[in-house]
Amino acid sequence: MTIKVAVAGATGYAGGEILRLLLSHPKYLSGELEIGALTGHSNAGQRVSELMGHLPQLADRLIEDTTVEVLSGHDVVFLGLPHGHSAEIGQQLSEETLVIDCAADFRLTDSAAWEKYYGGDYAGFWPYGIPEMPGHREEIAGARRIAVPGCFPTGSTLALLPAVAGGLIVPDISITAITGVSGAGKKGSVALLGAETMGSLKAYNTAGKHRHTPEMAQNLSKYTDADVNVSFTPVLAPLPRGILTTAIAPLVDGVTQDIATKTYRAFYENEPFVHLLPEGQQPQTQHIVGSNMCHVQVEVDEQSGKLLLTSALDNLTKGTGGAAVQCMNIALDYPETDGLPLAAVAP
């Protein structure tokens, strides 16, 4: 049986990354997976070669308008649409279709949090696409609707999860994450012009304003009875791709470096896409570009009584498109690592 896949919002960064990965997927190369409709409302009628020159296998394909009619009839539909647009389309597709949403429409369990940070009607919650969170692989495997996480919450959750679940910290957490400009999407914006970003760093949506803040707290709260408090500061850097996340929280009495390291090693020992670095090595964005990996480091700061967690991932791969393909693999019972590179591009 051939699985037919559509990508809505194919010309955006998330859609383009999904296509890049699918074109190297073993099931595509064997003919068992077919790339069907590619849609993009503002680019309908244009060829892929005009918009995404890095995908020569699809160069002659035409971009179609994003409608339910065009997307219907596919076995898998990836939604790489702006927030607020996925819900209407996703809810109209057949219940038998595997729909994987890369926007925020179905990430939050709390309708009040949705209204505060996004506004508009609350669409509900779909199974959440971080397989490394305990219990989530099982939910994803049986799902026909999946919400891909935000890129910031992915890096933060993978950095902090063993510490929270293992009771290493008091979950009063300060997170700073430095991101490349592709995280803002492929829309025109003066603030994202090269002349505005090159040679400069800028914090934005500070003091609890960033939309990913409640998603981080939601993820971590599942694994502790303590109240989780998250203070999140995102920083824009002149990089195309990559997120470097640092998180700091008070240590629980008696936690040593040896305990912290053993906790993280045990938590991630069977996770193919999380690499716990040896002592003395720090995650670097240059080591994860183009890969579906998250590199993690855990350090005890004895002087301050804090635990420092650091992670690095590619916001377009493990942070979005790679996560979407990883979830597809699980839901379709393919090998989870199919089509997903572990090695980064260097230099």
What is the pLDDT, as a whole number, of residue 190? Answer: 76
Closest C-alpha to 329, from 157, 137, 158: 137
* Tokens found for residue 278: 């040896």
pLDDT at 191 over 80: no
What is the pLDDT, as a whole number, of residue 42? Answer: 83
What CA–CA distance (Å, rounded) separates 260 from 249? 13
pLDDT in tens, 205-235: 899 888 899 999 999 999 999 999 999 999 9
pTM: 0.94
What is the pLDDT, as a whole number, of residue 188? Answer: 66
Q: Are 84 and 105 in contact (CB under 8 A)?
A: yes
Number of continuous H segments (helices) and E segments (strands) in the chain:
12, 12
Catalytic option among 102, 151, 294, 327? 151
All CATH 3.40.50.720 domain ranges in the chain, comma separated = 3-148+319-332
Q: What is the CATH number of domain 152-313?
A: 3.30.360.10
Q: What percent of the chain has pLDDT over 90?
A: 82
Mean pLDDT for the chain overall: 94
All CATH 3.30.360.10 domain ranges in the chain, comma separated = 152-313
109, with CB counted inside 10 A (0-12, 13-18, 19+), is middle
What is the pLDDT, as a whole number, of residue 146? Answer: 97
pLDDT in tens, 23-47: 999 999 999 999 999 999 888 889 9
pLDDT in tens, 237-281: 999 899 999 999 999 999 999 999 999 999 999 999 999 999 999
135, with CB counted inside 10 A (0-12, 13-18, 19+), is exposed
Lowest mean pLDDT among 132-136, 198-202, 286-290, 319-323: 198-202
151 is catalytic: yes
User: What's 3-148+319-332's CATH class?
Assistant: alpha beta
What is the pLDDT, as a whole number, of residue 43? Answer: 83
pLDDT at 161 over 90: yes
CB atoms within 10 A of CB 125: 17
pLDDT in tens, 79-114: 999 888 888 898 899 999 999 999 999 999 999 999
